[in-house]
C-alpha cells in the first residue's frame, strides 16, 4: 500500500475523522474532568493494581480482635478497655514506635476500666510523649466559601487528646472505598488529620505540639516523614519532606487484599500481656507501627474495596503504607492527558483513513494489552503516575464509530442518487440479500414519446434540463409510494415496487404512481407551453411477477439490477401504449391485485415478443373509480 497516495486520495475521510476525533476528545476530557467517567477510570486503576500483585509492608503489624477473642470476652460491646490497655502495653513493651488504635473512646464506661486504659496510654510513652494515636470520627457541619467544615467527636477524657486522627473515608459512586482525605477543616478552625497521617507523624517522632504546629501553621502543611521502599515497604535511612494541601484526598495505593500486612490475633497477645511475659529483643513489634482494632464480624467494621472486603484496620494500614512509601496515585495532569488524547486521535484518524473502522477497532483492542496497559503499568508502579488508558480507548472506538456512521451516511447519500436510498443502505451494511433474491414485484416502465423529434432544434443542455425536471418529478412520486428507480435508459425509466423494500400492495402503489405522474406531467407541460416549449407525452407499462434483485456482474463491472421475464414483459407492455393510443397499460397480473380501486378499460390480449402466450392488457385511467370498461375481470 502506498500510504501517501492513499492519504492523498482519502484526505476528505482523514479530515472528517480528525474533526470528529478532536470533538470526541474534547467531550471525553470534559466528561472526565466533571467526573462522569469516574467509575470507568477507577475500574481501570483497580485493574493495574491487580496486575501489580500484592506488596507486603514489613513496617506495619496488625493486632486484630477477632471472633475468637470477641467470644471469649463475652461478646460485649463496647470492648473492655482493660483488654485494649493490655494490648497497648504489650506493643509498647515490644518497642513499637507508634500505636494506632482504631476503636472509638467517645463515652465513659466503668471507672476502673477507663482508668486502666488512660494509664496504658500514658505509660506507652517515648520522651514523655505517648506513642498511642486514638481515633475519632467527624461529621459534616456546614459548607463555606473554602469548602466543607467538619465537627469531630469527643473523647471521654481530655488526656486522650494528644496526637489523634479521624477514621472516616468517603465511598465512591460504585460503593467501593478507594481514597481517604489526609486532612479536613474542623469547626474550631483547626486542621484535623486522618488516622493514617497522625500515625505516620507519630512514627516520625512528632509530638502533639509540633504536629499541631505543622498542621496549623498557615498555608500548606509541611511534614518530614520516614520514607519506605515502594516495592517491599521497608524503611529507608533518611526522612524526606512531604507537602500536603488543605482538604487533600489521596487515592489509596493498596498493598493488596487480606494478608498484605503481618497480622496477629489479640487473644494470645492479651494473655502474654496479662502474664507480664518478657518479650524478646527481636519481637514483631520493635521499631514498627502497630495498629489495634476489631476484625470480628459483629463490629461491622468491614468495607468493600477493589481488593474485596477489608476491615477498617486494614484500610488504615494501606493508607499509612501509601503515605510512607510516597506512592500516592497521582493522575496525569489534565493538559498532558488531553495532549495524549489528541495524539491518539491523530493516530486513529490515520488508521481510519487507511483501514476500515472495524480494523481500527481490532487494532485498538490489540493495543490495550500490547502497548497501553504496559505503559500505564510502568508509570503506575515506578512513578506513581496514573496514565489513563481507558479514555484513549474510548476516543478511538467512539471516533471510529462516528467516522463509520458519517462515512456510511455520505456513501448512502451518494449511492442513493444512483440506486435509491434503500439499496444504498443495504450496500453500506453489506446486506447478504444484495447477492440476489427472488421476489414478486410490480415493474414500472415509462418512456417519452417522440423524444428524438423533441431533441431536434434544442441544445443538449436544454434537453437535459427538461428531462431532469421530468425525472425529478417522477422520482418524488415513485419514492413517495415506496418504489425504487433502478435505471435510467436514455428517456426511459425502470422502477420497481415491492423490492428491495417489501410492500404487499406493490401493484396499487405502482398504479397510483402512474396516475400521479401523468397529473404531474400535465402541470409541467402547462409551464413549458408558457415558455414556448413543446409538451411531452409519456407511456407507462405495469406488470407484476417474479424477479431476481441483487448485484450482478463480475470483477470491477458490477451493478445492482432487477432481472427476469417480468422485466422484459413490462418493457413490452409499455411499448403497446403506442398501438392503443393510451398512457398507462397494466397486465392482468397487475390488475388482479388492484382490488377494484381504479378505472380500467380492457384492451384485449396482445402477442408480445419473447412470450409464447399473448398478454392481456388494461388501460388505467383513474384511481378510485372501481369499475372495468369493456368486460369483467
CA distance 182 to 246: 8
Number of Cβ within 10 Å of residue 481's Cβ equals: 21
Least Cα distance to 521 among 494, 540, 495 occurs for: 540
Give the number of C-alpha atoms closer than 13 A to the C-alpha of residue 205, restricted to the C-beta side.
5
Q: Which three cell numbers stand for residue 484?
A: 425504487
Coil, strand, or helix at residue 168? coil
Separation between Cα atoms, residue 107 and residue 630, nearest integer Å? 109
Predicted local confidence at residue 544, as pLDDT: 95
Strands 302-305 and 308-311: antiparallel
Decide if pLDDT at 571 tops 50: yes
HSE, side-chain direction, 13 A CA sphere, residue 176: 17
Side-chain half-sphere CA neighbours of 336 within 13 A: 9
Please report the pLDDT score of residue 486 as a whole number.
82
Look at residues 154, 221, 219, 223 and name the one whose alpha carbon lies nearest to residue 187.
Answer: 154
Give the mean pLDDT of 368-397: 61
**C-alpha cell recorded at residue 281:** 529483643
Looking at per-residue pLDDT, the higher value among 426 and 397 belongs to 397
Cell numbers for 607, please give them: 402477442
Residue 364: pLDDT over 70: no
DSSP code at position 467? H
Task: Give the E-state strand segments of 370-467 in sequence order.
Answer: 385-386, 437-448
pLDDT at 428 over 50: no
If you write DSSP's letter for every residue of 323-381 in order, what string do you get?
HHTT---EEPPHHHHHHHHHHHHHHHHHHHHHS-HHHHHHHHHHHIIIIIHHHHHHHHH
Distance in angstroms (rounded) separating the CA atoms of residues 524 and 561: 30
Superfamily of structural domain 431-629 = Nucleotide cyclase, GGDEF domain (3.30.70.1230)
| Residue carrying the nine cell digits 467538619 | 150
Phi, psi of 541 (to 5 degrees): -120, 135
Average pLDDT over residues 612-623: 87
**Average of per-residue pLDDT across 177-196:** 92
Burial class of residue 117, CB neighbours in 10 A (0-12, 13-18, 19+): buried
Residues 6+ apart with CB under 8 A from 49: 253, 254, 306, 307
Only one residue has cell 506488596, namely: 55
pLDDT in tens, 596-609: 888 899 999 998 88
Q: What is the pLDDT of residue 608?
A: 83
Listing DSSP states for 470-534 in one string gives: HHHHHHHHHHHTTEEEEEEETTEEEEEESSSS--TTHHHHHHHHHHHHHHHHHHHHHHHHHTT--
Distance of alpha carbon 573 from alpha carbon 615, whole angstroms: 8
User: Looking at 222-236, 399-413, 444-458, 469-483, which range is the least confident one?
Assistant: 399-413
The pLDDT of residue 613: 86
Element (H, E) at 291: strand 289-294
Give CA–CA dist 195/184, Å, rounded. 12
Round to whole Å and give the CA distance between 362 and 410: 23
Separation of first and last alpha carbons in the chain: 65
For 71-110, how does the pLDDT look when each residue is reduced to its tens digit (9 = 90+)?
999 988 889 999 999 999 999 999 999 999 999 999 998 8
The C-alpha atoms of residue 509 and residue 504 are separated, in whole angstroms, by 10
Highest mean pLDDT among 130-134, 224-228, 465-469: 130-134
The better pLDDT of the pair 169, 490 is held by 169
367's CB contacts (< 8 A; 6+ apart) are: none
What grid cell was written down for 520? 404531474
pLDDT at 533 over 60: yes
Is pLDDT above 90 for 264?
A: yes
582 vs 619: CA distance, rounded Å: 7
Question: What are the boundaries of each domain within the chain?
Answer: 3-36+335-415, 51-324, 431-629
Residue 43 neighbours by CB under 8 Å, 6+ apart: 174, 390
Strands 191-193 and 183-186: antiparallel
What average pLDDT is seen over the chain? Answer: 81
Average pLDDT over residues 214-226: 88
Query: Of residues 453 and 426, which shows the higher confidence score?
Result: 453
pTM listed for this prediction:
0.58
Rg (CA), the chain: 42
Q: Would you state the pLDDT for residue 179?
A: 87
Per-residue pLDDT, averaged over 149-161, amounts to 92
**What gap in Å lies between CA 31 and CA 605, rounded to an integer?**
72
CA distances from 171 to 175, 305, 310, 345 (A): 6, 9, 14, 34
DSSP 389: S
For 521-530, what is the mean pLDDT? 92
Amino acid at each position: 500500500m502506498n500510504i501517501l497516495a492513499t492519504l492523498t486520495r482519502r484526505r476528505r475521510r482523514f479530515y472528517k475523522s480528525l474533526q470528529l476525533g478532536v470533538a470526541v476528545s474534547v467531550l471525553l476530557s470534559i466528561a472526565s474532568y466533571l467526573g462522569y467517567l469516574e467509575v470507568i477510570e477507577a475500574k481501570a486503576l483497580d485493574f493495574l493494581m491487580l496486575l501489580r500483585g500484592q506488596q507486603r509492608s514489613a513496617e506495619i503489624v496488625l493486632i486484630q480482635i477477632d471472633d475468637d477473642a470477641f467470644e471469649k470476652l463475652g461478646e460485649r460491646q463496647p470492648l473492655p478497655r482493660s483488654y485494649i490497655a493490655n494490648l497497648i502495653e504489650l506493643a509498647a513493651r515490644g518497642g513499637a514506635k507508634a500505636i494506632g488504635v482504631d476503636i472509638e473512646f467517645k463515652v465513659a464506661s466503668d471507672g476502673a476500666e477507663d482508668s486502666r486504659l488512660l494509664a496504658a496510654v500514658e505509660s506507652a510513652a517515648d520522651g514523655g510523649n505517648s506513642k498511642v494515636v486514638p481515633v475519632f470520627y467527624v461529621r459534616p457541619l456546614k459548607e463555606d466559601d473554602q469548602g466543607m467544615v467538619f465537627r469531630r467527636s469527643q473523647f471521654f477524657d481530655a488526656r486522650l487528646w494528644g496526637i489523634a486522627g479521624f477514621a472516616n473515608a468517603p465511598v465512591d459512586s460504585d460503593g467501593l472505598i478507594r481514597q481517604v482525605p489526609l486532612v479536613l477543616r474542623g469547626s474550631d478552625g483547626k486542621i484535623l488529620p486522618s488516622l493514617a497521617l497522625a500515625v505516620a507523624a507519630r512514627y516520625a517522632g512528632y509530638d502533639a505540639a509540633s504536629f499541631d504546629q505543622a498542621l496549623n501553621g498557615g498555608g500548606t502543611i509541611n511534614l518530614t516523614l520516614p520514607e519506605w521502599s515502594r516495592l517491599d515497604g521497608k524503611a529507608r535511612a533518611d526522612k524526606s519532606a512531604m507537602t500536603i494541601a488543605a482538604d487533600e484526598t489521596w487515592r489509596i495505593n493498596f498493598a493488596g487484599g487480606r494478608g498484605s500486612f503481618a497480622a496477629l490475633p489479640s487473644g494470645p497477645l492479651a494473655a502474654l500481656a496479662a502474664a507480664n511475659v518478657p518479650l524478646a529483643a527481636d519481637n514483631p513489634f520493635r521499631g514498627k507501627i502497630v495498629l489495634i482494632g476489631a476484625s470480628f464480624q459483629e463490629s461491622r467494621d468491614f468495607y468493600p474495596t477493589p481488593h474485596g472486603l477489608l476491615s477498617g484496620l486494614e484500610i488504615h494500614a494501606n493508607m499509612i503504607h501509601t503515605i510512607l512509601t510516597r506512592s500516592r496515585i497521582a493522575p496525569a495532569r489534565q493538559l498532558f492527558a488531553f495532549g495524549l488524547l489528541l495524539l491518539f486521535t491523530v493516530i486513529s484518524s490515520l488508521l481510519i483513513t487507511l483501514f476500515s473502522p472495524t480494523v481500527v477497532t481490532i487494532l485498538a483492542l490489540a493495543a490495550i494489552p500490547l502497548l497501553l496497559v504496559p505503559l500505564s503499568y510502568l508509570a503506575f508502579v515506578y512513578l506513581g503516575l496514573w496514565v489513563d488508558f481507558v479514555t484513549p480507548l474510548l476516543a478511538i472506538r467512539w471516533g471510529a464509530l462516528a467516522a463509520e456512521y458519517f462515512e456510511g451516511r455520505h456513501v448512502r447519500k451518494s449511492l442513493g442518487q444512483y440506486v435509491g436510498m434503500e439499496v444504498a443502505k443495504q450496500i453500506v451494511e453489506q446486506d447478504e440479500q444484495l447477492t440476489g433474491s427472488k421476489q414478486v414485484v410490480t415493474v414500472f416502465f415509462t418512456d417519452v414519446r417522440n423524444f428524438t423529434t423533441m431533441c431536434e432544434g434544442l441544445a443538449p443542455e436544454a434537453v437535459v434540463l427538461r428531462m431532469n425536471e421530468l425525472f425529478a418529478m417522477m422520482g418524488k412520486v415513485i419514492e413517495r409510494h415506496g418504489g425504487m428507480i433502478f435505471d435510467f435508459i436514455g428517456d426511459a425509466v425502470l422502477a420497481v415496487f415491492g423490492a428491495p423494500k417489501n410492500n404487499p400492495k406493490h401493484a396499487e402503489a405502482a398504479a397510483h404512481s402512474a396516475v400521479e405522474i401523468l397529473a404531474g406531467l400535465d402541470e409541467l407541460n402547462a409551464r413549458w407551453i408558457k415558455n414556448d416549449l413543446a409538451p411531452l407525452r409519456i407511456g407507462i407499462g405495469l406488470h407484476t411477477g417474479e424477479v431476481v434483485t441483487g448485484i450482478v456482474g463480475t470483477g470491477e463491472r458490477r451493478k445492482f439490477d432487477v432481472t427476469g421475464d417480468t422485466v422484459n414483459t413490462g418493457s413490452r407492455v409499455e411499448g403497446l401504449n403506442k398501438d392503443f393510443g393510451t398512457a398507462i397499460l397494466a397486465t392482468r397480473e397487475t390488475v388482479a391485485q388492484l382490488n377494484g380501486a381504479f378505472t380500467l378499460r380492457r384492451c384485449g390480449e396482445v402477442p408480445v415478443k419473447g412470450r409464447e402466450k399473448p398478454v392481456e392488457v388494461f388501460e388505467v385511467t383513474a384511481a378510485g373509480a372501481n369499475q372495468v370498461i369493456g368486460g369483467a375481470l
